[in-house]
Amino acid sequence: MKYMPRTIKIIFIVLMISISLLFLPKEAKAGSNANVFGWAWSENIGWISFNSTNCDSDGDGITDTGNYSQCPTGESISDYGVHIASDGVFSGYAWSENIGWISFNEEDLSGCPQEPCKAEINLTSGEVSGWARALAPVEDPEAGGWDGWIHLRGANYGVKLKLSTKEFEGWAWGGDDASSTAVIGWISFNCNNPETGDVCGASNYKVETSFNLPPTASNLSETINHCAWGMSPQVALGLSIILNWNYSDPNEDPQAAYEIWVDDDPSFSGSKFNHIAQSAAPSDSTVSYPLDLSPEQDEEGDWLSKLDWGTTYYWKVRVKDSSGSWSEFSSTSSFTTPAHAYPYPDFQPFPQNPSIGEVVEFIQDDPSVAQAICYLDQNDTATSCEALPGTNYAWDFSYDPTEGFQTDSTYKGNATTTYDTVKPYTVRLQITDDLGTCSMDRAINITLPLPEWREISP
C-alpha cells in the first residue's frame, strides 16, 4: 500500500495498540487513594479514566453498576489513579480501553520532546505544564512513529485547574508532531471548556481533584514598640515586637495554624525560637503574633529568654489551612534591636486629687514613689534620667489625644502646675535620650476646695 488516508492511518494505529493491550497484565497502577478522578474525552480514542473509583466506587476490584455509562459491569478492574503531591507534581496512571496506561510518573517522562517534562501544576495560577505518556506505543513498530507523548500545555492550548471548583478544564494534545498524526488528538478535560462553551447537556464529564492547594504567607512586617513599659509580652526591657504576615489560600480555606522561626542566624541552622500555634484567620487577612520568648512558647525550648541589644534577628513563617495543607516557609524578614533600652518616664502627681488652685507636683525622682529611668548600655545599666546629660523633658499638663502633645514645660525634674477648672486631666511626660523618645500618662482629678468653716457657739 503506497498511500493510507490520514483517518484510516489513525484508526489503524489505535487498532494495533488496542490489540497489543490484550497482552498487557492487569497490574495495580498507583492506587484509588489518588486525588485526581473523573473522565477526559478524546474523539479518537474515547474516554480516559483518571481513577479506578470512577467504575469501582467501593474499591472491591469489581466494576459497579450504574456509575457511568462507559463503565463495564461486574468486571475485574485494576487499582489505579493519578495523584498530585503537595508540591504540585503529578504521578500515577490514567487508563484508556483503546490506548492503555497513560503515565504521569516523572521517571516515564524523561526525554520528552520539549522541556519541561514532568507533569506539574502551578500552585498559584492552576496551570498544568509538562507531559503525560501512553505506554503501549513506546518502541511499538505498529504505533506509526508516535511515542505516546501527550502534551499538557502548548503555545495556544493547555490544561488548567479551576481553583474555585477544583475542576480541570482545557485541552491536551496527543499525537506525532513530526507527521502531524493525531493518534489521540485533542483531549478535553471538561464538558464546559472556555473555548467550546457548555456541552454538558449532551455529555457530562470532567476531570476533578480533591488536591488542596497549599496556602501562602507573604508581606512579612514587624510592629516594634520601644516604649512597651507595663505591657506584656516584652522581648527586652520596654521592647515589644509583633510579627505580621498576610495569609492567603487559593481555595479560600481559613488559616488553622502557623509556625514561626526566629534566630540571629539567617540560615536558622542552629538553635532557634520555634513557635507553633493553632490560630484561625480568614483567607486574605493579616495575621499577627506578639513575640513571646517564654519557654512554653518555644517548641525547642533552648533559645534566648530575651533579645540582645544592637542585634539583627531574622524570622520566617509557614501556615496551615483548615484542610491540613502546610505552605512552604515564607521569605525571610529581619529587624534590629536598638543599642539599649529607651527611657522609662515614670512619674506620679502629688496630691492625687488636688483642688482648684492647689500646686500639683509631678514626682519623678523618688524611688519610693516614682522614678524616671534611663539606660546606658547593652547590660541595662540604669540611671536617673534627670541626672543624665543630654536627656530632654517635655510636659503636657492637660494632654488631649485629639489635639496632640502640647508642651507646657521642659523642666528637667519635678515639674509643678496649678489648675483652675474642676474636671479630670491627663498629664503626659515625654523623655528623649540619645536613641529616642518615650512618654507616660497619669490621670488626676481636680476638685473643688473644701469649704471654709468656723465654730459657732450654740
In tens, the pLDDT along 374-397 reads 999 999 999 999 999 999 999 999
Torsion, Cα 99 105 106 112, to 10 degrees, reads 0
The topology (CATH level 3) of 348-445 is Immunoglobulin-like (2.60.40)
User: How far, in Å, CA of 206 to CA of 119, rounded?
Assistant: 19
Return the sign of the alpha-carbon dihedral for residues 5, 10, 15, 20: positive
Residue in the structure block whose three cell numbers are 540582645? 308
Q: CA angle at residue 311 from 305 to 313, to 5 degrees?
A: 70
Work out the pLDDT band at 31, boundaries 50, 70, 90. Answer: low
Q: Where along the chain do its domains lie? A: 6-209, 216-336, 348-445
Nearest Cα to Cα of residue 374 among 429, 292, 443: 429
pLDDT, mean of residues 362-371: 95
Predicted pLDDT of residue 169:
97
Span 36-93, pLDDT tens digits: 999 999 989 999 999 999 999 888 999 987 678 888 889 999 999 999 998 899 999 9
Task: Tell me which of 2.60.40.10, 2.40.128.720, 3.30.565.10, 2.40.50.140 is the CATH number of domain 216-336.
Answer: 2.60.40.10
pLDDT, mean of residues 421-429: 97
User: How far, in Å, CA of 343 to CA of 434, rounded?
Assistant: 10
Nearest Cα to Cα of residue 103 among 125, 85, 118: 118
Q: Which three cell numbers stand for residue 140?
A: 511499538
More confident residue, 64 or 403: 403
Predicted pLDDT of residue 192:
95
What is the percent of the chain where pLDDT is above 90? 76
Q: Which three cell numbers stand for residue 131?
A: 507531559
pLDDT, mean of residues 425-445: 98
Q: Which three cell numbers stand for residue 111?
A: 526525554
Work out the pLDDT band at 452, boundaries 50, 70, 90. Answer: low
Work out the pLDDT band at 26, boundaries 50, 70, 90. Answer: very low
Work out the pLDDT band at 13, boundaries 50, 70, 90. Answer: very low
Same fold flag, 216-336 and 348-445: yes
Q: Is the pLDDT of residue 309 over 50?
A: yes
Mean pLDDT of the chain: 89
